[in-house]
Structure 1
Amino acid sequence: MAITNFFFLMASIYYRVFFFICLVSYLTNAQTFNVSGKVIDAETGKPLQYANIRLGDSGLGTATNPEGVFEIRLKKGNYTFICSYMGFVSDTIQINVSNNISEVLLRLSPSFVDLSEVTVIPGENPANNIIRNAIRVKNERNARLNSYSFTAYTKGIIKTNQEVTASSNTISIETGLDTAELKINGILENESIGYFKKPDNYKEWITARKQTANLPSSINILTGGRIILNFYSDDIYFFGRNIYGPLAENALSYYYFMIVDTLAIDNKPVYKLLMTPDDSLDPGFIGNIYITAETYEMVRIELNLNKAANVGGLLDTISIYQQFYAAEDGILMPVDYHLMVTAKILGLIKFSFQVNSILYNYKINHPVDDDIFNMAIITVNTDADKKDSLYWSSMQRIPETKEEMTAYEKIDSEQNVPFSIADNFSILSPRVLLSPNFSISSPLSLYHFNRVEGHSLDFSFRSFDGFEERSNSELSFSYGFNDKKFKYFFSTSFLPGNYRTYEIKASFYNHTEKLFSTSEDYSQFFSTLMCLLDKYDFNDYFYKKGFEIQLSGEVFPILKLFMGFYNRTDNTAFKNSDFSIFSKDKAFRDNPLIYETRLNYLQLGLTIDLRKYIEDGKFRRRVNTPRSLNLQLTADVLHSKNDLISSGLDFTSWNGELKGSINLFSRTTLSFLLDGLYTTGSLPYQMLFDIPGNVELIARENTLRTLGFNSALGDRKVTAFFEYNMYDELFRLSGIPFLKTLDLQTTVFVNGAYSDISYPSHKILPYRVKTYTKPLWEAGFNIGHGVFPIRFSFAWRLNHREENSFRFGLTSLIID
Structure 2
Amino acid sequence: MNIPLFFLAFVTFSSTVFAQRTTTIFGTVTDLETHQPLPFANVVFQNSSVGTLTDSLGNFKLETKRNFDSLVVSLIGYKSQTLVVNRGVTEELAIQLVPSSYELGMVEVRPGENPAFKILRKVIANKPKNTPESLNYYEYEAYHRVQFDLNNFTEKIKKNLFLRPFDYMWENTDTTEDGINYLPMLLTESSEEHFYRKQPRSKKEVVKGRRTFKFFQAPKIMEFVNDMYVDPNIYENYVTILDRSFPSPINDYYKRNYNFLLDSGIHVIDGHPCHHIFFKPKGKSDVAFTGDMYIDTSHYAVVQTDLEFSVEANINFVRNYWIQQKYSFVDSTQWFLTSSRVIGDFTVIENAKDMTGFFGKKTTDIRNIKINEPRDAEYYATVDPIVIEDSAYVRDDAFWNEARRDTFSTEQQNLVNMIDRMNNDPKWKLLIGGIKLLADGWIPFRQIDIGHIYSFYTWNPIEQSRVKFGFRTNDKFSDQVKLSGYLAYGIGDNRFKGGGSAEFIFPGELRRRWVLGVSYKNDQFQQGMSQNVIALDHIFRSFGQISGEQRRTMLESYNTYIERQWFTGLSTRISMFRDRYSPLQQDFRVRSGLDTLNAENFTAAGAKFNLRFGFGEDELPATFDQVDRGFFFRKYPMISFEVAVGIKDFLNSNFNYQHYKLKLEYQLKANKAGYLNILAEGGIINGKLPYQLLHVPDGNPLVFNDDHGFNLMNYMEFVSDKYVSLQLEHHFNGLLFNLIPGVRLAKLRSLLIGKIYFGTLTDQNRNGNFLLADGMEVMQHPYAEVGFGIENILKISRID
What is the TM-score of this pair, normalised by structure 1?
0.69
Structure 2 residue corresponding to 1:504, chosen from 516, 528, 541: 516
Distance in 2, Cα, partners of 1:343 & 1:537: 43
Q: 2:727 aligns with which of 706, 722, 727?
A: 722
Matched residue of 1:461: which SS?
strand
Q: Which residue of 2 aligns with 1:669?
A: 676
Which residue identity lines up with residue 752 of structure 2 in the other structure? T
Say which of 286, 291, 295 aligns to 2:290: 286
Rg comparison, structure with higher value = 1
Partner of 2:373: 366
Aligned residue number for residue 321 of structure 1: 324
Q: Which residue of 1 aligns with 2:192?
A: 192
C-alpha contact 1:659 1:674 (8 A) present in aligned 2? yes
SS of alignment partner, residue 428 of structure 1? helix
For residues 251 and 717 of structure 1, what CA distance do their matches in structure 2 show? Answer: 49
Secondary structure of the 1:205 match is: strand
Counterpart of 2:83 in structure 1 is none
Letter in 2 for 1:669: L
Superposed counterparts of 1:73-222, under 5 Å: 123-142=112-131, 145-160=135-150, 182-198=182-198, 201-212=202-213, 214=215
Rounded to whole Å, the distance in 1 between the matches of 2:549 and 2:727 is: 26
Please state how far the C-alpha of 1:152 moved relative to its aligned partner: 0.9
Alignment match, 2:41: none
Residue 317 of structure 1 deviates from its aligned partner by 0.4
Question: SS at the partner of 1:287?
Answer: strand
Mapped to 2, the partners of 1:626 and 1:566 lie a distance apart of 32
Mark the CA change 1:533 to 1:280 in structure 2 (over 3 Å): closer, same or farther: closer
Shift of the alpha carbon at 1:209?
A: 2.6
Amino acid at match of 2:258: Y
One-letter code aligned to 1:201: S
Q: Distance in 2 between matches of 1:546 and 1:617?
A: 25
* 8 Å Cα contact 2:146-2:360 kept in structure 1: yes
Paired AA for residue 719 in structure 1: V
Aligned to 1:411: 419
Structure 2 counterpart of 1:772, which letter? V
Displacement after TM superposition at 1:191 (Å): 1.3
Cα deviation, residue 655, structure 1: 2.6
> 1:712 aligned to 2:718?
yes
Q: Please tell me the root mean square deviation across aligned C-alpha atoms, in Å.
A: 4.2
Shift of 1:458: 1.4
How far has the Cα of 1:404 moved from its partner? 0.9
Tell me how far apart the structure 1 counterparts of residues 212 and 449 of structure 2 sit (CA, whole Å).
Answer: 26
3-state SS, counterpart of residue 329 of structure 1: coil
Shift of 1:354: 1.3
Matched, 1:612 2:580: no
Tell me, in whole angstroms, the C-alpha distance in 1 between the residues paired with 2:358 and 2:319.
10
1:102 maps to what in 2?
none
Alignment deviations for residues 195-230 of structure 1 (CA, whole Å, 9 cap, x no partner): 2333763221111233216489x9899899973112
Q: 1:292 and 1:546 mapped to 2: Cα distance? A: 67
For the 8 Å contact 1:343–1:352, the answer to whether it is kept is yes
Specify the alignment match of 1:352 in structure 2.
Answer: 359
Counterpart position of 1:563: 574
Which letter maps to 1:134?
A: V
Give per-residue Cα distances to partners, 1:536-574, cap 9 Å, x unaligned: 784322333453323333457665443333345443325
Please tell me whether the aligned partners of residues 189 and 209 of structure 1 are also in contact (alpha carbons under 8 angstroms).
yes
Q: Residue deviations 1:251-279, cap 9 Å, x none?
A: 23421112358444478754433210122
**C-alpha spacing 1:781/1:334, structure 2 compared with 1 (3 Å):** same
| Partner in structure 1 of residue 21 of structure 2 | none
Q: Distance in 1 between matches of 2:570 and 2:361?
A: 38
Q: Corresponding residue for 2:393?
A: 385
1:636 equivalent in structure 2: 643
Moved more, 469-478 or 662-671: 662-671
Using the TM superposition, name which of 391-400 and 468-477 deviates more: 391-400
Deviation at 1:478, TM superposition (A): 1.4
Provide the secondary structure at the position in 1 that maps to 2:236. coil
CA distance in 2, matches of 1:231, 1:532: 51
2:584 to 553, 573, 580: 573
Separation (CA, whole Å) in 1 of partners of 2:567 and 2:534: 35
**Structure 1 residue 596 displacement after superposition:** 2.3
Counterpart of 2:474 in 1: which secondary structure?
strand
Between the aligned partners of 1:304 and 1:376, the Cα distance in structure 2 is 34
**Are the counterparts in 2 of residues 691 and 719 from structure 1 also a CA contact under 8 Å?**
no
Contact 1:375 1:613 in 2 (8 A): no
Contact 1:256-1:277 within 8 A present in 2 as well: yes
Does the Cα contact within 8 Å between 2:719 and 2:779 map onto a contact in 1?
no
The CA deviation at 1:153 is: 0.9
SS of residue matched to 1:227: coil
Q: Which residue of 2 aligns with 1:471?
A: 481
1:354 and 1:403 mapped to 2: Cα distance? Answer: 14
Does residue 425 (structure 1) correspond to residue 434 (structure 2)? The answer is: yes
Counterpart of 2:687 in structure 1: which amino acid? T
Q: Give, in whole Å, the separation in 2 of the partners of 1:369 and 1:720.
A: 46
Distance 1:384 1:568 in 2: 42
Give the alignment of 1:272-283 within 5 angstroms. 272-283=276-287
In 2 relative to 1, CA 752–416 (structure 1 residues): closer, same or farther, beyond 3 Å?
same
Bigger Cα displacement from structure 2, 145-154 vs 545-554 = 545-554
Relative distance call for 1:612 and 1:466 in structure 2 (3 A) is farther
Query: Residue deviations 1:741-791, cap 9 Å, x none?
Result: 754231332412214265368423375553334331424133213353333
Correspondence for 1:245: 248
TM-aligned CA deviation for residue 625 of structure 1? 9.9
Residue 489 (structure 2) pairs with residue 493 (structure 1) = no
1:701 is matched with which residue? 707
1: CA distance, partners of 2:334 / 2:710: 54
Secondary structure at the aligned position of 1:523 is classed as: coil
Structure 2, unaligned stretches of length 5 or more? 1-103, 154-160, 165-169, 174-180, 587-596
Deviation, structure 1 residue 494: 1.6
Separation in 1, partners of 2:629, 2:462 = 40
Alignment match of 1:690 (pick from 686, 696, 699): 696
Secondary structure of the corresponding residue to residue 410 of structure 1: helix
Number of residues of Structure 1 aligned to a counterpart in Structure 2? 643
SS in structure 1 at match of 2:304: strand
| Equivalent-residue separation in structure 2 for 1:534 and 1:614 (angstroms) | 38
Contact between 2:525 and 2:555, CA under 8 Å: does it hold in 1?
Answer: no
**How far apart are residue 420 of structure 1 and its match?**
4.1
Work out the percentage of aligned pairs sharing the same amino acid: 16
Distance in structure 2 (CA, Å) of the matches to 1:757 and 1:279: 57
Change in 2 beyond 3 A, CA 1:626/1:245? farther
Query: What amino acid maps onto 2:505 in structure 1?
Result: L
Aligned to 1:334: 337
1:767-806, aligned counterparts within 5 Å? 767-768=773-774, 770-786=776-792, 788-793=795-800
- Measure, in 1, the Cα distance between the counterparts of 2:780 and 2:533: 28
Q: Which amino acid aligns with 1:211?
A: T
**Cα gap change, 1:424 to 1:571, in 2 (>3 Å):** same
In 2: Cα distance, 1:349 partner to 1:713 partner? 53
Alpha-carbon distance in 2 for matches of 1:130, 1:659: 44
Q: Whole-Å Cα distance in 1 between the matches of residues 539 and 403 of structure 2?
A: 57
Q: 2-side partners of 1:294 and 1:249: how far apart? A: 20
* Inter-partner Cα distance in structure 1 for 2:658 and 2:472: 33
Q: Describe the shift of the 1:522–1:358 C-alpha distance in structure 2 as closer, same or farther (beyond 3 A).
A: closer
Check whether the contact 1:460–1:476 (CA below 8 A) recurs between aligned residues: yes
Shift of 1:636: 1.3
CA pair 616-162 structure 1, distance change in 2 beyond 3 A: farther
Counterpart in the other structure of 1:678 = 685
